[in-house]
Amino acid sequence: MLIRIVKMGFYKEHICTFLSNFDANREKIRAFEGCTFLELYQDKQESNIFFTYSYWRNETDLDKYRQSDLFKNVWSKTKPLFDRKPEAWSVEKIVSLN
């Protein structure tokens, strides 16, 4: 399993636009082949900072998503809203306690 973490900073006036676009596409992203989990977080100190956490069966599935029309459509509407360059990490879970 691969976990993808993306940190995004938005101009404050575009937060509602981002959330609306995410809401309209979150089920499609989660249903994309290979995606097993999707969450969105908002920073408590800087309300214009958001993180997505998505779990993928493997890197190939993530790459297929990143090359898909769905990703291109979502990203083309998200990218102009950024107030800084997004950051992304692909990580593997080592330990999880419930």
The predicted model gives 36-53 an average pLDDT of: 98
DSSP assignment of 5-74: EEEEEB-GGGHHHHHHHHHHHHHHHHHSTTEEEEEEEE-SS-TTEEEEEEEESSHHHHHHHHTSHHHHHH
- The pair of three-digit structure tokens given for residue 92, joined into one six-digit string: 């593997």
> Which pLDDT tens digit goes with each residue over 71-86?
999 999 999 999 999 9
- Predicted TM-score (pTM) of the model is 0.94
| Nearest residue to 37 via CA among 22, 50, 56, 24 | 56
pLDDT digits (tens, 9 = 90+) for 1-43: 999 999 999 999 999 999 999 999 999 999 999 999 999 999 9
Closest by alpha carbon to 45, among 1, 9, 84?
Answer: 9
